[in-house]
Amino acid sequence: MKANIKELTKGIFKENPVFVIVLGLCPVLGVSTQVSNAIGMSAGVMFVLLFSNIIISALRKVIPGSIHIPAYIVVIASLVTITEMVMHAFVPSVYSALGVYLPLIVVNCIILGRAEAFASKNSVFDSILDAIGMSIGFALGLTLIALIRELFGSGTITLFPMGNFGGGINIPWFYDNPIRVMALAPGALLIMGYLKAFFDWNTSRKKDK
């Protein structure tokens, strides 16, 4: 059981998909302009990753080795299509904000990477834990970048409207003087680079001890 827990927690910090194994950066850099987009994207990735891991690990003895990649793509593409339709129907604002990045989950390296590296070799239960851990790690990384970018780049934090709460928080000084570069492409690369440097430094410091 302890080994199983490890499959769950490794994705969050030790093998964080964004900062350590650096996979699936296209949505990380593309949709991290608003926190709400980041959460929507993370939810989509979590759904696809979880079910693709389940299906692929369940079928791991059925899929012939020579066409395993096309088989994975069929599974992932079906799941992405489901996600896209569901989002289009129930959260149209998030759907339009994510734009092309939503169908691009098909070619997201985290999902194919976990299918290839983990689900095709491990049991269904372990694959579920791995998928949950990885998607939490992805969600944390993406939301962290989006939070920093939105805070500095537009001076707001956009969440989903709930009850009296309208969904947007304005940060006093930054709202009037947004550092707009942070909301543009260079901001994404800068934040990504500094966070990765910080995590690498943290890991190497722990190793030295």
Report the interface residues with other proteins, using CB under 8 A: 177-182, 184, 190, 194, 197
- Whose CA is closest to 107, among 183, 19, 30, 188? 30
Q: What Å distances lie between residue 55 and 3, 40, 59, 84, CA to CA?
A: 22, 23, 6, 19
- A 10 A CB-CB count for 174 gives 17
Question: What's the CA gap between 73 and 189, in Å, rounded?
Answer: 29
Query: In the complex with other proteins, which residue's Cβ is closer, 2 or 176?
Result: 176
Choose between 82 and 189: whose C-beta lies nearer to other proteins.
189
Q: Which is nearer to other proteins, 165 or 194 (CB)?
A: 194
Q: Please say which residue, 5 or 181, places its beta carbon nearer to other proteins.
A: 181
Exposed, middle or buried by CB within 10 Å (0-12, 13-18, 19+), for 159? Answer: middle
Task: Report the alpha-carbon distance of residue 77 to residue 194 in Å, rounded.
Answer: 33
- Cβ proximity to other proteins: between 164 and 177 the closer is 177
- Across the chain, where does the E strand assignment appear? 156-158, 168-170
